[in-house]
Amino acid sequence: MASPISAITLDLDDTLWPFPPIGERIERVLHAWFERHSPPTAAMFPIPAMRALRQLLMERHPELAHDASTLRQRGIEHALRESGGDLALAGPAYDAFYEERNRVEFYDDAIDALQRIAARFPIIALTNGNADLGRIGIAHLFKGVVTAREFGAGKPDPTIFHHACELLGATPQQTLHVGDDIELDVVGAQSAGLQAAWINRVDATWPADLRAPDTTFTTLSACADWLDAQHTDKT
């Protein structure tokens, strides 16, 4: 029998908001910024070239796989350097990117569901990304944030899950991790000893060779309903 849940760790991208629209916008915004402030950089590194550069940097620097911000900063610096641009523009260019990165459009159910969950359980945001909950406006609903960049390792590494549990003051067995990614969220959480809720908004098929999630929902709202019922059953 599973232990009663006393705390929540929660993924962000593609759990609270879809990331693909953000990814497309940040590419356009960064390119437009280069067009205004460093035209030779925009000419030498159009969007497809910047994508290829990012992939190259990821391959050359696997030690930075957990650090999306540093990879982005290095990509900007490389593009400026190679195009003869002013490296002093790297900071402002990253700022333009990061402002757009934190302009999110929540899933319709996400805010209400998050508020309901936060009213019952302490929540730690657990992310391999670089979203800023303060800028987004939901930091008050979380006890804290654990990012792969700050921790030094990302999901599915068990240590990042264990660190989040320590911050929550809960054992892994008492903690439910909620997220969309099969490997990073569900397999990672279960390997670390947490309970795992899979948010499957896209009607994906669970791989037959993997241990099934502890529970599956098509929306975060359905997860909040389930947590409400669990809490009611124990009061």
What's the rounded Cα separation, in Å, for the pair 118 and 7? 10
Catalytic residue status for 95: no
What's the rounded Cα separation, in Å, for the pair 94 and 102? 12
Residue 144 near residue 120, CB atoms below 8 Å: no
Closest CA to 94 of 26, 11, 186: 26
Q: Which of 11, 13, 14, 185 is catalytic?
A: 11
Which residues are part of the catalytic machinery? 11
